[in-house]
Structure 1
Amino acid sequence: MINKIVPLESQHHDDVWRIERAANTFPWAESMIRKEPNNIATNFVLLVDDILVGYCYGQLVAGEATLLNIAVDPNLQGKGYGKALLEGFIDILQQRNAEDIWLEVRASNARAYKLYEAAGFNEINRREGYYPSENGREDALIMTYLVM
């Protein structure tokens, strides 16, 4: 298998939209998925043998990066693709001179939290009632990674 992380382009949008809806109870709006990136965007896809298995949306402004959205096809989770995508995102941002990377994760998303923690992210704060949930609202955990 050949894994490649490449910039997200318009030909990837249909697969990204399919994965976004399958992977998230509260997906982003389709218009956000298909939006043309601006000059601060750091959006990538993970291709395995030329099949899109995951994606991430981010941005980089004045040395500060934010991971806005990351997902792997639910049918392909548990194979290390999320880890590969996250590590690739970090590596690319390091090459682009990012100083730190920020993200938010649902408090209930233990699997993602463990992935981020294993990659070197540290929880630094909590936003109460940030995300919609099936039972009202849930907290967002704010995590940061210091790029070396």
Structure 2
Amino acid sequence: MNISIVPMSPEHLDQIYQIECRAHQFPWKESIIRSIDSRGACHHTLLIDGRVGGYFYAQNIVGEVTLLNIALDPVWHGQGFGRQLLDFFLAFCERQSAESVWLEVRESNLPAYTLYLNSGFNEVDRRLGYYPTENGREDAIIMSYFL
């Protein structure tokens, strides 16, 4: 199996949007997925044997990086690719001389929350009722990582 993580490019976007729709109950709009040239953008794609297996969208503004979205195709869950993608992301932030990394995660997303904790992130606050659910809303847990 050939694994690589490369800067996101327009050729990846169709597959990324398909994964976004499979991986999230409330996916980003396609127009947001296709907007890859925003200020401070540092988006990357995980390729598994040449096909998109996952991705992250991040923004680096004066040394403070925000992980906006990270996803793995559900067919690859449980095989360590999510950890590889997150480890790459954190190493990328270090190479960019970032000072801190910030993210938000749904309180119900225990696998992601645990992955972030095990990677050195700390819970710092909550946005109450931030994310939509089928039956209302749920909190976003704000987490930080200092380099």
Q: Which TM-score tier does this pair reach, normalised by the shorter chain?
A: over 0.9
Q: Secondary structure of the residue that 1:87 maps to in structure 2?
A: helix
Taking the aligned partners of 1:6 and 1:93, their CA distance within structure 2 comes to 14
Large movers: runs of 4+ above 6 Å: none
Q: Secondary structure of the residue that 2:26 maps to in structure 1?
A: coil
> Gaps spanning 5+ residues in structure 2: where?
none
Shift of 1:35: 1.0
State the identity as a percent.
Answer: 50
> Gaps spanning 5+ residues in structure 1: where?
none
Shift of 1:138: 0.4
Q: How does 1:75-114 map to 2 (within 5 A)?
A: 75-114=75-114
Relative to the length of structure 2, the TM-score reads 0.97
Q: How does 1:19-98 map to 2 (within 5 A)?
A: 19-98=19-98
Q: Secondary structure of the residue that 2:28 maps to in structure 1?
A: coil
Q: Is 1:12 aligned with 2:12? A: yes
Relative to the length of structure 1, the TM-score reads 0.97
Deviations 1:14-65 (A, max 9, x none): 1100000000000000000011312400100111221210000000011100
Taking the aligned partners of 2:10 and 2:102, their CA distance within structure 1 comes to 26
Taking the aligned partners of 2:137 and 2:36, their CA distance within structure 1 comes to 30
